[in-house]
Amino acid sequence: MTSLVKTVLYTSESGLALFKREPIELPLGKPQAMLSELIASSGHQLRWSPVGFRSEFHCTEHPQWVFILQGQMEIGLRGGVSEVFGPGEHFYSNDTVPLGQSFDANVHGHWSRQVGPDPLVTLFVKD
């Protein structure tokens, strides 16, 4: 069976944001156009970020898919780990504050920034 790769930004048991990879199976369709099962969503938002944009450490409020439409987006984690996503790439952002805890900027979350010469345009698809 054919699959795609889902990059997931998530909160570990220790409260740190980490990346992991999971397969998305494509059991539907035809060999020329394989499809995943339908994935529910509650809506979407578009965001435009200027050249030079960079956020502080933060957590994702609600799990969401992030699709890069234009420019490049870097996601940075504690300890210097980061990944850059370009046009046509995506990841699933699910690094929420652990249940029963308050956000601690020294432990939780990730930062994001625009990379390169072009403004960043992203599509957020909410769970």
Q: For 28-74, what is each residue's pLDDT tens digit?
A: 999 899 999 999 999 999 999 999 999 999 999 999 999 999 999 99
How many domains does the chain divide into? 1
- pLDDT band per the 50, 70, 90 thresholds, residue 3: confident
pTM of the predicted structure, to 2 decimals: 0.90
- pLDDT score, position 1: 58
- pLDDT band per the 50, 70, 90 thresholds, residue 2: confident
CATH number, position 84 = 2.60.120.10
Domain holding 80, by residue range, is: 3-126
17, 20, 34, 116, 120 from 53: Cα distances, Å = 21, 25, 37, 11, 9
With H, G, I as helix, E, B as strand and everything else as coil, classify residue 96: coil
CA distance 123 to 106: 28
